[in-house]
Amino acid sequence: MKALIFPGQGSQFVGMGQELYDSRKDIKDLMESANEILGFDILSLMFRGTDEDLKKTEVTQPSIFIHSVAALKAVNGLGAEMVAGHSLGEFSALVANGVLSFDDGLKLVSERAKAMQAACDANPSSMAAILGLDDAKVEEICASISGVVVPANYNCPGQLVISGETVAVEEACIKLKEAGAKRALLLPVNGAFHSPLMQPAQERLAAAIENTKFRKATIPVYQNITTTAITDPDQIKANLIAQLTGPVKWTQSVQNMIKDGATNFVEVGPGKTLQGLIKKINSTVASASAI
C-alpha cells in the first residue's frame, strides 16, 4: 500500500517551487492564486527571497503548504491509500484526501502561522532536540522539571524534540545529558511549538477551523495527535486544534501506517527529512520523493 507523507516547518529552501511553477500552466495558476489569497507576493519570497525571509513563520508555513500541494498536483495524487503530515504537513495531507480545498487550507495555514507567531512574541520560549535517549526517559525527566517543558515531536526512535519555557528547557537539557543523551541541542526557534504555551494560538486557530468547510476524507489521514486512521471531518477538526498544544507523534503514526499495510512512503513537498525519519523508524519499507 502507498502512503503520501507531507513535511512540516524546517523543510523550506530558497527557490522552492520554481520548477513546479514553470512546469505546467495549471500548477502556475494554482500557485499564483496563493498571492491573492494571502494578500502579498509569497511566490517572490519562495523563488527569490533570502533564508531569513523564509524563516519567518508567517512565510515558512504557507510556503511549504503551497509547494506540497503543487507537488501533489504534479503527480496527480499517485493513487495513495493513506496520508499523513508532520505538524504543518497535516494540512497538506488534508488537501490530498479531499477534506480541505487548496484555498481553505492555505487560509487556515496562514491563520495558524500568524497565531503561532503571536504566541511566540507574547511568551518567548524554546525547543531542543534530544538524541540518543529512550522516549520514556525523556518523558520522565521533563515531568520532573518545575516549569513548562514537554515532549513535542516524536520524530523517530532516539530523536525527540522538547518544548517549553526557556529556563525549563535548558534545565531539562542538563538533566537529559546527565541521563545519557548523546546530544541535547537548543533549536534556533523563539517559541514552544506543540506545548501548552501555544494555548492562545490554539484558541485563534479553533475559531478559524470551526468556520471552514471540512469534507469526509476519501482515504484515511493518520493524525499527529491520535496516530490512527481518521476519516470523520469532525474528528479531524478536533485533532487539528489539539495538535497545536499536543505532541507530534510521528514515530507512532508511521508505525501504525505500516501495521495497517503501508509498504511504500512517498514524500510530497520540499526536502527529504521525512524519508530519513522513515528509514530510522522502519528500514524495511520503501521511501522516496514524489518529484
End-to-end CA distance of the chain: 19
Give the distance from CA 12 to its chain's centroid: 12
Q: What gap in Å lies between CA 291 and CA 25, rounded to an integer?
A: 17
**What distances in angstroms separate CA 89 from CA 44, 63, 122, 177, one per listed residue?**
22, 11, 25, 31
The three three-digit cell numbers of residue 44, written as one number: 517572490
Q: What gap in Å lies between CA 249 and CA 274, rounded to an integer?
A: 13
From 63, 87, 110, 287, the catalytic residue: 87
Is residue 87 part of the annotated active site? The answer reads yes
Q: What is the dihedral of CA 158, 172, 127, 258, to 10 degrees?
A: 30
Bridge-based pairing state of the strands 286-289 and 264-267 = parallel
Is residue 68 part of the annotated active site? The answer reads no
Q: What gap in Å lies between CA 165 and CA 118, rounded to an integer?
A: 16
Whose cell is 503551497? That residue is: 66
Rounded to the nearest 10 degrees, the angle between the axes of helix 233-243 and helix 199-210 is 160
DSSP H or E run through 275: helix 273-281
From 194, 195, 253, 287, the catalytic residue: 194
Q: Which residues are catalytic?
A: 87, 194
